[in-house]
Amino acid sequence: MEAKRVLLLADLSPGCSGRVVRIDGGRGIQQRLEAMGVYPGVQIRKKSALFGYGPSIVAVAGSELAIGYGKARRIWVEVEEVEDPSGR
């Protein structure tokens, strides 16, 4: 795996972690995500995701969040570490 790839949170495979680099969208979505601890610069780890357009489960700022597909499609993550998804 090459390092420093930037992917959408929705496309990130489970077990990967990285840093949020950008959130697309207006002030509203930025604010709502920021309130829950998701903001550009924060360390994030995708724990799992449900099939199809299901939500992504992430670990961020010490808590576990479910982020729906619509929002996960707006969060860009710089991949830093690719883990074996089974080694959670």
Partner 1 sequence: MKILLVGNPNVGKSLIFSQLTGLNVTASNYPGTTVEFYRGHMWKGEERYEVIDVPGMYSMEPGCEAERVARRMLDYGDLIINVLDATNLERNLNLTLQLAVCRKPMIVLLNFWDETKQKGIEIDPEKLEKFLGVPVIPVSAVTGEGLGKMVERLPEAGIPPFYIEKPDKRWRRIGLIVREVQSLRRRRPTLLERLQNLSLHPVYGLLTAAVIMGLAICFIVYTGEFFSGIIESLMTRWYLPLIQKLSGLLGRKGLLHEVLIGKLVAGGVSLKESLGLLTTGVYVAFGVVLPYISIFYFILGFLEDFGYLPRLAVLMDRAMHRIGLHGFAIVPLILAFGCNVPGVMALRNLESRREKFIAGILMAIGIPCMAQLSIIIGLVGRYGFSYLLLIFAFLFFVWTVLGVVGNRLVHGHTPSLLMEIPPYRLPRAAVQLKKLKMRITAFLVEALPFVFGGLLLVDLLHALGVIKWLSRFLAPVISGFWGLPETVTSTLLIGFLRKDVAVALLEPLALTPAQLTIVSLVLTLYFPCAATFVIIIKELGVRDTVKAVGVMITVTLLAGTFLHLTLDRLFTPQVLAALLTGAAIALGARAGGKHDPEEFADLPGEDGTGEEGGYNSGKEGIR
Binding site for partner 1 (CB under 8 A): 25-29, 31-37, 39-42, 47-55, 57, 60-74, 88
φ and ψ at residue 31, rounded to 5 degrees: -65, -45
DSSP bridge partners of 21:
none
Nearest to partner 1 of 49, 79 (CB atom): 49
Nearest to partner 1 of 5, 47 (CB atom): 47
Nearest to partner 1 of 3, 38 (CB atom): 38
Given a contact cutoff of 8 angstroms between Cβ atoms, the answer to whether 31 and 37 are in contact is no
